[in-house]
């Protein structure tokens, strides 16, 4: 379908487009009609025609089209197909009166439409209060998820007899009393979501950090408001999944990361090197990790010192690691190499303090001629600059000398 705005079309073009749309909505091909009905640029007259389409798939597309007007949605609310009614129930243009009717849907599969109504932000508080007592837990869960559900109503549902409903309350509530009650819930899923809630008080997090189930402790570890003091305790957890969650938390300090660089679990150490803010010192240390996958992640990390990446590209025992480091180095802009040379890197020196081949020889042996040339160019530029600076210093010294007096 042409995306051109009708206002931008000539009369002839508009007529041609309308003929194309009419042909599409009268075709025997259901997929073509569905495409038109779901298109954001579908004109009103096409939606009007397709609302009576024989295919439920097409009618559902009309019901789900963001531009469908209220009167079409009212018509579709009485549709026999559950998917059509479900889309009507969640549509932002559906009138409140229509939502009220749908909330009393008595079809055998009414749970789909009633749940969609319960999740619609246009629901009135009165409707939500009624739906919060619905016998179907899926409907009650939708009420909890509704962004316009009042806090008092959502918090009251913390006593619901269904664990999924209580779990949703645990996600959304900010009430400390409710969170405290849910932290003692017999269902692990409820406690896990409670532990992840950013509104959870630190003292409550401390209690949950001692939960017998690892998922709850991991929930505390990944809570964005978990303090570093508590993360340092969880960093010693017996379950590697908890320690991984600690590493991934933005509040995890460099000190905690440093304690975990020798963790016995490869996944924990890998989580460390995949942090975007992983310290350079840790990356350099982990360039020698026993796991080649971890070393590969170090090789391509943008914070890894380039001298470390040069070492890995030239000398790592694993071919894949060398290739990853090589590819990363070749992707660097030429402008970066003068800084590397200025820091002491040279083609005529070993790549590290230890005895070994010169960097230039190692680069050529590993097929990094392009990197060799970049460094060579940077070294020549630096030498010229230093020579020019020395000449200027000598010139200034001579110029500043006092003239000799003649007798």
Dig out the tokens for 179 from the structure: 């969170």
What CA–CA distance (Å, rounded) separates 245 from 393? 57
What CA–CA distance (Å, rounded) separates 43 from 1? 11
What CA–CA distance (Å, rounded) separates 140 from 160? 9
Give the pLDDT score at 390.
62
Report helix angle 82-90 to 110-118, nearest 10: 10
Q: What is the pTM of this model?
A: 0.83
Give the gyration radius of the chain's Cα atoms. Answer: 34
Query: From the centroid of its chain, how far is CA 194?
Result: 22
User: How many CB atoms sit inside 10 A of residue 107's CB?
Assistant: 14
CATH number of 26-149: 1.25.10.10
Give the pLDDT score at 25.
79
Contacts of 206 (CB under 8 A, 6+ apart): 230
Query: From the centroid of its chain, how far is CA 385?
Result: 46
Give the pLDDT score at 26.
76
Give the pLDDT score at 407.
41
Give the pLDDT score at 6.
55
Nearest to 25 by CA among 7, 49, 8: 49
What CA–CA distance (Å, rounded) separates 329 from 323? 10
What CA–CA distance (Å, rounded) separates 396 from 15? 82
**From first to last of its 407 residues, what are the pLDDT tens digits of the chain?**
555 555 555 666 656 666 667 667 778 899 999 999 999 989 999 999 999 999 999 999 999 999 999 999 999 999 999 999 999 999 999 999 999 999 999 999 999 999 999 999 999 999 999 999 999 999 999 999 999 999 999 999 999 999 999 999 999 999 999 999 999 999 999 999 999 999 999 999 999 999 999 999 999 999 999 999 999 999 999 999 999 999 999 999 999 999 999 999 999 999 999 999 999 999 999 999 999 999 999 999 999 999 999 999 999 999 999 999 999 999 999 999 999 999 999 999 998 765 688 999 999 999 999 999 999 999 998 888 777 666 565 555 555 556 555 44
Pair 146, 121: CB distance under 8 Å: yes
Domain ranges of the chain: 26-149, 150-200, 301-388
């Amino acid at each position: 379908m042409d995306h051109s705005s009708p206002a931008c079309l000539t009369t002839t073009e508009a007529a041609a487009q309308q003929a194309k749309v009419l042909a599409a909505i009268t075709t025997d091909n259901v997929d073509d009609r569905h495409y038109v009905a779901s298109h954001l640029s579908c004109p009103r007259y096409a939606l009007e025609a397709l609302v009576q389409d024989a295919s439920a798939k097409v009618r559902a597309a009309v019901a789900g089209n963001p531009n469908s007007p209220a009167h079409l949605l009212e018509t579709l609310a009485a549709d026999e197909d559950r998917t059509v009614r479900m889309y009507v129930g969640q549509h932002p243009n559906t009138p409140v009166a229509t939502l009220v009717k749908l909330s009393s849907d008595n079809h055998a599969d009414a749970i789909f439409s009633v749940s969609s109504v319960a999740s619609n932000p246009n629901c009135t508080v009165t409707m939500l209060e009624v739906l919060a007592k619905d016998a179907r837990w899926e409907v009650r869960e939708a009420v909890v998820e509704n962004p316009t559900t009042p806090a008092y109503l959502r918090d009251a549902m913390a006593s619901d007899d269904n664990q999924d409903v209580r779990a949703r309350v645990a996600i959304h509530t900010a009430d400390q009393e409710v969170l405290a009650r849910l932290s003692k819930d017999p269902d692990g899923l409820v406690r896990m979501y409670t532990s992840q809630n950013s509104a959870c008080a630190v003292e409550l997090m401390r209690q949950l950090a001692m939960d017998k189930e690892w998922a709850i402790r991991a929930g505390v570890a990944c809570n964005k408001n978990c303090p570093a003091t508590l993360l340092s305790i969880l960093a010693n957890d017996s379950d590697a999944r908890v320690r991984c969650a600690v590493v991934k938390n933005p509040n995890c300090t460099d000190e905690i990361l440093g304690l975990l660089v020798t963790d016995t679990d490869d996944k924990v150490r890998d989580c460390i090197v995949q942090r975007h803010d992983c310290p350079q010192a840790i990356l350099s240390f982990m360039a020698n990790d026993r796991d080649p996958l971890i070393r590969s992640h170090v090789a391509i990390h943008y914070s890894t010192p380039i001298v470390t990446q040069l070492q890995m590209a030239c000398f790592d025992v694993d071919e894949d690691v060398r290739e990853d480091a090589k590819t990363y180095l070749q992707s660097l802009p030429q402008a970066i190499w003068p800084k590397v040379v200025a820091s002491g890197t040279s083609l005529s020196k070993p790549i590290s303090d230890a005895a070994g081949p010169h960097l230039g020889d190692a680069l050529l042996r590993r097929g990094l001629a392009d990197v060799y040339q970049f460094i060579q160019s940077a070294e020549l530029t630096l030498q010229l600059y230093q020579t020019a600076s020395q000449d200027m210093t000598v010139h200034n010294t001579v110029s500043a000398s006092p003239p000799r007096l003649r007798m």
